Structure 1
Amino acid sequence: MRLTTFTDFGLRALMRLAGEPTRAFSTAELAEEFAVSRHHLAKVISVLAGAGLIATRRGGGGGAMLARPADQIRLGEVVRLLEADQVLVECFAPAGNLCTLTPRCRLKARLAKAEAAFLAELDESTLADCIYTPAEKV
């Protein structure tokens, strides 16, 4: 499996917020620290906030913070949220499947099982297991 950069940025942001849970981080600050697009990260932050994983405040002293303790946020939950619009292969899409093998395909069920196992493995870990602080840079 390959995760999108959207999910990658979301996981990075959550790990960083978990590293200093009492501090609010601006999107610009996180984008600079990770050397990623501020615009793209803002979209990620918006989705995370909409799902109740982070809380955001505008203005001075504002920014993003975890809305729940890191040990209550499962990695599988985050990946499902951020990859919601992505399908592993074309035939998993509810519309637009042009694969001529679909009616007789023996691969689809195996891929679905592998994807479920991947997410189940991520469900075994929480954000607390992956906390990141800059002092840990290697």
Structure 2
Amino acid sequence: MSQHTAVLLLGSNIGDTKNNIDEALEAISQGNIILKKSEYLISEPVEFVSSNIFCNIATIIQTHLSPVQLLDYVKKIEISMGRKNDSSVTKIYTNRVIDIDIVKFNELKFSSERLEIPHKRHLYEREFSKFLLKDII
């Protein structure tokens, strides 16, 4: 079974946001290895208006899953934690208990309806993402 390196970005702006991220990281670590984590970062919502601020973190993991399998895995975590709307489907950003994005996967370039790797907005456009990612990649 081959191992892959993936960079994930997690965010939460509902409830105990730091605890939500820690719970998601614990779920991610079941079957994957967390190699590195950034510091937590508090940031304003991006691309939608909300009075709830975000707690965010970036992490590098080692996984045996393919990109699509990893996407399915993190989407199951989001749903199990109470996420109701998937902005990648609805194209509408809302408050969320947890959001887990795949930013990079090895050096792969991949695009489908459900997944784009690398995640260009996180790598090049969103300031909070660039700040978190510069710490770990």
Q: What TM-score do the two structures reach when normalised by structure 1?
A: 0.32
Larger radius of gyration: 1
